[in-house]
Chain A
Amino acid sequence: MNARAQAAPAPYDIARIHGEFPILRREVNGKPLVYLDSAASSQRPESVIAAVDDYETRHHANVHRGVHKLSQEATDLFERARERVRAYVNAPSTRGVIFTRGTTEAINLVAQSYGRPRLKAGDEILLTALEHHANIVPWQLVAQQTGAVVKAVPMDERGVVSLDAFAAHLNARTKIVACAHVSNALGTVLPVADIVKLAHACGAVVLIDGAQAVPHQRVDVRALDCDFYAFSAHKMYGPTGIGALIGRESLLDAMPPWQGGGDMILTVTFEKTTFNELPFKFEAGTPNISGAVGFAAAADFIESIGIEAIHAHEQRLLGIATRRLEAIPGLRIIGTAPDKAAVISFTLDGIHPHDLGTILDSEGVAVRTGHHCAMPVMEYFNVPATARASFACYSRESDIDALVTALAKAREVFA
């Protein structure tokens, strides 16, 4: 083998990767499953299932408590998972890696523990028009509690939120900026590093909802310089019910706990409790240990393929799917930003997305239909709902064929 051949990147072995997901071997309605709903929740590879199984079968006990062997093993696995998650997004220290139930809980934690004690009447919380409800409602709650005001930076007809629009909405009253890294409904990738710079120049702290970014692209929270970054394991081939909040230590140190219980304390008397150090201060109660183990295994799985390779594969599929869908008469793609993750929201003239969803399902093709927990986005584009096909590391070109064929079937039914 010569040096040149060695330097060439390994081809993306889609058959092997697809084969690592047992669920993708099943049939739905008598047809092979074509799973195009990974933006709602991705499937799990054998390695993640095995890691969780091994933990449950051999190592389970409560963490940070007993001196017995199993408690030690469970604690080691849990803390190793924290380190794995830290490394996945290049966070500075595990002290700033807080396990949560998911992205939603991470955002609520910041809204209540960072926002609520600091926000005053008239302060502004700046979101964008394309946020998921999980990055809207927690801020509305804290706004009601404090008298702060929630504002949203508008997007254009492609689903792009420009830096100029951001700059125009930032001012001295802006205390918190919270925005998606990648839109779940439209696929738009936001220029978050530049948004962080603009926001910091105004003295605002920035939370990034990274739920839709972590499975698709390299995320480096140190390079982004954001104050908080929230994401979930189940969007990146891990289990449900576990996620992480990455926080700037100086901010986390100054924030009060947001839930009380075991694990988050050092000493308790009925007069006074001293709180545990980071990150445990924010992890009251027995955590989702098996979930954390699966979370770490999911990060290992992604790195075993390479996030850049996954990104390139998904972008190739996005290009093909966009061209194939655009060629269908009456099909409208909602969200046409130049920088997009592999998510395509669309409507088909004369067929409601819900009917599309049912007909596609009868062909074994799973897509999301509805408002995607982003009702303001639907309102902006003046559609009640869309169908959404989303791609992952295991998606194949033949999945796009199946989608296009199933859409033709929908036309037939509604002819």
Chain B
Amino acid sequence: MDLKDLYREVILDHNRSPRLFGRLEPADSSADGHNPLCGDRLHLSLRMEGDRVADLRFEGKGCAISVASASLMCEAVKGKPRAEIAHLFEEVHEVLTKHDAPIPDDLGKLAALSGVREFPMRVKCASLSWHTLNAALAHDAAPVKTE
């Protein structure tokens, strides 16, 4: 287990200066994530255009892994349709939890999270933002937009 594998430069950078940090008002959907074990809290707000996440923001407090994961996720899913986001979520989940899962090429910067799998106690920190995104998308799945 190597710390450098966990705290890669991309992770430290996104922790220091999180992208898409803040809150969309008004938002089409939002969700709160909470990791009671470490006290991490996350608020995610989405603006949808049909099937696509047109824009999103996150805010909250947490460890470097949870902040960087949320920041990387927001960058990665912005503008993407639901199906593609669901696919990305599956890939990220595999990479976080399966010790020797290959790292898919289309993960891009999200691949920086792969070091987390050597630190089982930290997987929840990295997956909090993704679960929160799923919750926000599920809210939105109800008959929302009529226009």
Contact = CB atoms under 8 A, between A and B. Distances in A.
Interface stretch (A141-149, A211-219, A350-358): A350-358
Contacts, number: 50
Nearest to B119: A358
A172 B120 CA distance: 51
A353 B121 CA distance: 13
A352 to B, nearest CB: 4
A413 B38 contact: no
Given A371-B39, A384-B40, A385-B39, A362 B3 contact: yes
Contacts of B122: 354, 358
B39 A355 contact: no
Contacts of A375: 39
A378 B41 CA distance: 14
B37 interface: yes
A378 B12 contact: no
A79 B6 CA distance: 51
A378 to B, nearest CB: 7
Nearest to B6: A358
Contact of B12 (A369, A385, A414): A414
Contact of A359 (B3, B12, B62): B3
Contact of B38 (A29, A353, A359, A414): A353
Contact of B41 (A29, A354, A370, A384): A384
Interface string B47-91: 000000000000001111100000000000000000000000000
B142 interface: no
Given A362-B3, A413-B7, A384 B61 contact: yes
Interface residues of A, number: 18
Interface in B116-141: 119, 121-122, 125
A246 B64 CA distance: 45
B41 A355 contact: no
Nearest to B122: A358
Interface in A399-415: 413-414
Interface in B18-53: 37-41
A414 B1 CA distance: 18
B6 A370 contact: no
Given A384-B61, A413-B7, A414-B12, A354 B1 contact: no
Interface of B is mostly: mixed
Nearest to B60: A384
B119 to A, nearest CB: 6
A359 B5 CA distance: 12
A385 B39 CA distance: 6
B135 to A, nearest CB: 20
B63 A352 contact: yes
Contacts of B121: 358
A385 B63 CA distance: 10
Interface in A357-415: 358-359, 362, 369-371, 375, 378, 384-385, 413-414
Contacts of B63: 352-355
A369 B122 CA distance: 12
Contacts of A370: 37-39
Interface of A: 29, 351-355, 358-359, 362, 369-371, 375, 378, 384-385, 413-414
The 9 A-B residue pairs with the shortest CB-CB distance in the complex, in nearest-first order:
A384-B39, A352-B63, A354-B63, A385-B39, A354-B38, A355-B64, A355-B63, A362-B3, A413-B7
Given A355-B63, A369-B38, 11 more contacts: A353-B63, A358-B3, A358-B122, A370-B37, A370-B39, A375-B39, A384-B38, A385-B38, A413-B3, A414-B7, A414-B12
20 contacts: A352-B38, A354-B38, A354-B62, A354-B125, A355-B7, A355-B63, A358-B3, A358-B6, A358-B119, A358-B121, A362-B3, A369-B38, A371-B39, A384-B40, A384-B41, A384-B62, A385-B39, A413-B3, A413-B12, A414-B7
